[in-house]
Amino acid sequence: MGRWAIIKDNKVHWIHSGNKLPVLGPTSNGETLEIVDISERPEVQEGWVRDVETGTLSEPSPPAPEYVPQYPMSLDQANALLLARSFGLEIGIEQEAQIQEAVVFAAGIETVASYERNWITGEFVSVGCKRAFSNIVYKCRQSHITQAGWEPPNVPALWVVSRDDSGPLEWVAGEPVYAGEIRLFGGVEFEVVQSHVTQVGWEPPNVPALWRRIS
């Protein structure tokens, strides 16, 4: 018994199993479907994608994470979380940052200017502030008080890489990139297919759903 993948727009839309090669005509809007023999690849499933250069079928990459802006919590919420922490409950980095922001605003502490300078610990930074760390400039995503262990490369929930898109730039992790932008990886140019925040494991050659090789 054979097994065939029916390809449309470089994606497996259907899988046909049987003794005969399926015969397909054009779709209602005139598109032509392609049939690929996958009898030797039982792992292939509907929804898999095909690399336009190699023709290889692979499982689709996970969707790019979307950043959801966090708004300042109330002082009551901050106090409730601090009480929960005193009882030994774990609080994430994002909640810690929101607690700090709520306390800073309630206390009327002046926020620092958003101009660019080196990252240091013990500084209150607000959304949009830029700080340099290890010769890379980062932009603050959530207001918080900086501390050891929360260095920009370590907490993408709080910081993203900030660079002027003036010519081909080298791919780096932790940078928001947008559809149509170009990045270099291993000396090869790739174009962003879907806007996302780069991260280790999502290098351009590894995720054709996010990047398209152009050179």
- pLDDT higher than threshold 90 for residue 205: yes
Of 84, 81, 128, residue with least CA distance to 102: 81
Q: What percent of the chain has pLDDT over 90?
A: 16
Phi-psi region of 207 (alpha: psi -120 to 50; beta: other; left: phi over 0): beta
Each residue of 109-118: pLDDT tens digit?
Answer: 655 545 568 9
pLDDT of residue 111: 54
Token output for 165: 């898109």
Each residue of 97-148: pLDDT tens digit?
Answer: 778 777 777 776 655 545 568 999 988 887 788 899 998 889 888 888 888 8
**CATH 2.10.10.20, the chain: domain bounds:** 75-161, 169-213
Name the least confident of 9-23, 88-102, 106-120. Answer: 106-120
Name the least confident of 43-47, 88-92, 172-176. Answer: 88-92
Q: What is the pLDDT averaged over residues 56-65?
A: 72
The pTM score is 0.45
Q: Which residues are within 8 A (CB) of 163 and not within 5 positions of it... i.e. 6 or more apart? A: 137, 169, 175
Architecture of the domain whose range is 169-213: Ribbon (2.10)
Fold of 75-161: Seminal Fluid Protein  PDC-109 (Domain B) (2.10.10)
Beta bridge partners of residue 49, listed in sequence order: 11, 58
